[in-house]
Amino acid sequence: MEDLSNYRKSYQRGQLLESDVPENPMALFHDWFLQADADKKGEANAMTVSTVGEDGFPLSRIVLLKGYDDAGFVFYTNYDSQKGRAIQKHPKVCLSFFWEALERQIIVRGVAERTSLEQSEEYFHSRPRGSQLGAKASPQSQAIASREWLDEKIVALESAFDGKEIPRPEHWGGYLVRPVSIEFWQGRANRLHDRIRYVLSGISWMKERLAP
């Protein structure tokens, strides 16, 4: 076994105190997101989306957060993909962010629903043409014969849609994840990290501190 037991880092960058956090977790998410995005070095909007599959296994993958507000968090994908099928059956999902430079993690549990057709349409057409063709060409999550099969499909679509608008595939669109709990984690020394979890109770958010 590779021995990683000496991989050890002490977290010293900040602290998270009840006196400093707002009533609304989305306000805190916004602050943290802006700080994570400030250096523009990584993709601060990359998040892990975990779903529970039809077979009961959880599955996690990275997707890009494309918007957030008090209603929740939005990402775009293929509704027929593995995650799309999982969400269809089990709309409860988990989103997580790890912002290493800030020694922060955010874990959101929530319920996913499809965004409106208009919203999916608008976002689809704002994407670069290559990404639109990619979405049309790719039967996301299905086994395919080869890379060549995909490349040939792209060439065929490029010529079929030459000079024309590419329609949004019906199976492609957004999900809005409406949060029911959001945990903010700030690394501290000696593994005594700060964790504050907001839990939705009716229409208000309750806060609690969790042991590290």
List the catalytic residues: 191
Which residue, 139 or 167, has its beta carbon nearer to ligand FMN?
139
Q: Quote the least distance from Cβ 35 to ligand FMN, whole Å.
A: 20
Q: Which residues bind ligand FMN (CB under 6 A)?
A: 43, 46, 59, 61-64, 75-78, 81-83, 140-141
Which residue, 72 or 194, has its beta carbon nearer to ligand FMN?
72
Joined tokens for residue 132 = 């639109």
Joined tokens for residue 159 = 């010529």
Q: Quote the least distance from Cβ 199 to ligand FMN, whole Å.
A: 27
Dihedral of CA atoms 137, 138, 142, 148 in degrees, nearest 10, equals 70
- Which H or E run includes 173? strand 172-186
For residue 114, how far is the Cα from the chain centroid?
14
Instruction: HSE, CB side, 13 Å, CA atoms: give it for residue 76.
Output: 22
Which residue, 11 or 175, has its beta carbon nearer to ligand FMN?
175
Q: Quote the least distance from Cβ 119 to ligand FMN, whole Å.
A: 15
CA angle 110, 115, 117 (to 5 degrees): 165
